[in-house]
């Protein structure tokens, strides 16, 4: 207000914030405001704590002093990690999904997620919804996360050797995190050795089972009743037969 009590439009107002001078102009209604950014870009020397802000009206030669408490920005980042399979074979693929959420109450800046893959797992490709992932270093960097914002990172990998592999991740940021219990996560996948299937053995015949078996007997050829020359024996038999017929006829 001016000396007559009217709105002091477009007037110059000097602020002194802990010794740092800032000049502002009033609007058409004679009001002015001082914006203090969380990153303190407008007032570089301003840090969290109790501060005195003094404004000076050169029109009325008045000083107005206010006490301001600036709190340190805090946030609660949480991270989770899941796999699409708990058990795979060598040369099979597995996809790990990492999710980071800012639970507030402030925006987060300079987010850094560390995710170093085990030696028996090799990354093939990745997909980050925000930020940049350095697959060689296993580091995912994100500039900022607003309150309630959630982002994901998908890692498509292949198993190189058998074993039990646990993938660990953690997240940090520039602001103070008031809950560190949810800044770490892990996911375990078991890799099993490939086994070549063995064909089944053929069934073994059961000779003791007489019910289903058929016995075939082959008759032996008739043995020769007489020893010696078979032709001579045959001639002798014929002569005996003819002799028995001829003798009775001669008696008549």
The pLDDT score that the predictor gives to residue 203 is 77
Question: What is the domain count for the chain?
Answer: 2
Nearest of 143, 80, 78 to residue 108 by alpha carbon: 143
Which of the two residues, 10 and 141, has the higher pLDDT score?
A: 141
Domain assignment of residue 230, yes or no: no
DSSP code at position 145: E
Q: Is residue 41 part of a domain?
A: yes
88 and 184 part of one domain? yes
Same structural domain, 106 and 173: yes
Same domain for 55 and 91:
no
Nearest to 75 by CA among 109, 32, 114, 34: 109
Angle at the Cα of 54 from the Cα atoms of 52 and 60, rounded to 5 degrees: 160
Are residue 174 and residue 94 in the same domain, yes or no? yes
Has residue 61 got a pLDDT over 70?
Answer: no
The backbone torsions φ and ψ at residue 169, rounded to the nearest 5 degrees and listed phi first, read -135, 155
Reported as a single tens digit per residue, the pLDDT across 182-226 is 999 999 999 998 777 777 777 776 655 545 544 445 444 444 444
Q: Are residues 51 and 16 in the same domain?
A: yes
Which two three-digit tokens encode residue 10? Answer: 């477009």
Q: Which domain CATH number covers 142?
A: 2.60.40.1530
- Inside any domain, residue 85: yes
What's the whole-number average pLDDT of the chain?
77
Residue 40 maps to a domain: yes
Q: Range of 127's domain?
A: 74-192
Question: Measured between alpha carbons, how far is residue 218 from residues 107, 207, 212, 213 in Å?
Answer: 101, 20, 20, 16
Compute how many other C-beta atoms are within 10 angstroms of the C-beta atom of residue 150. Answer: 13
Q: Is the pTM of this model over 0.75?
A: no
Residue 97 and residue 66 in one domain: no
Co-location of 175 and 120 in the same domain: yes
How high is the pLDDT of residue 147?
Answer: 94
Domain co-membership, 38 together with 54: yes
Is 234 inside a domain boundary?
A: no
């Amino acid at each position: 207000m001016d000396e007559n009590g009217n709105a002091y439009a477009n007037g110059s107002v000097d602020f002194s914030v802990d010794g740092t001078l800032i000049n502002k102009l009033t609007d058409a209604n004679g009001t002015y405001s001082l914006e203090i950014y969380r990153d303190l870009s407008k007032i570089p020397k301003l840090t969290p704590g109790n501060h005195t802000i003094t404004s000076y009206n050169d029109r009325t030669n008045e000083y107005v002093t206010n006490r301001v408490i600036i709190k340190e920005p805090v946030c609660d980042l949480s991270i989770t990690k899941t796999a699409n399979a708990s058990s795979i074979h060598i040369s099979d693929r597995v996809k790990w999904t990492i999710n980071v959420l800012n639970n507030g109450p402030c925006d987060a800046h300079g987010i850094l997620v560390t995710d170093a893959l085990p030696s028996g797992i090799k990354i093939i490709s990745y997909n980050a919804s925000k930020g940049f992932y350095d697959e060689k270093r296993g580091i995912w960097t994100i500039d900022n996360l607003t309150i309630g914002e959630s982002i994901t990172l998908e890692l498509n990998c292949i198993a190189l050797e058998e074993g039990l592999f646990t993938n660990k991740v953690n997240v940090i940021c520039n602001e103070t995190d008031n809950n560190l219990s949810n800044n770490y996560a892990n996911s375990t996948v078991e890799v099993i050795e490939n086994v070549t299937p063995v064909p089944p053995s053929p069934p073994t015949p059961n000779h003791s089972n007489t019910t289903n078996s058929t016995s075939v007997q082959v008759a032996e050829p008739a043995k020769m009743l007489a020893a010696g020359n078979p032709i001579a024996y045959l001639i002798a038999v014929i002569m005996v037969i003819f002799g028995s017929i001829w003798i009775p006829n001669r008696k008549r």
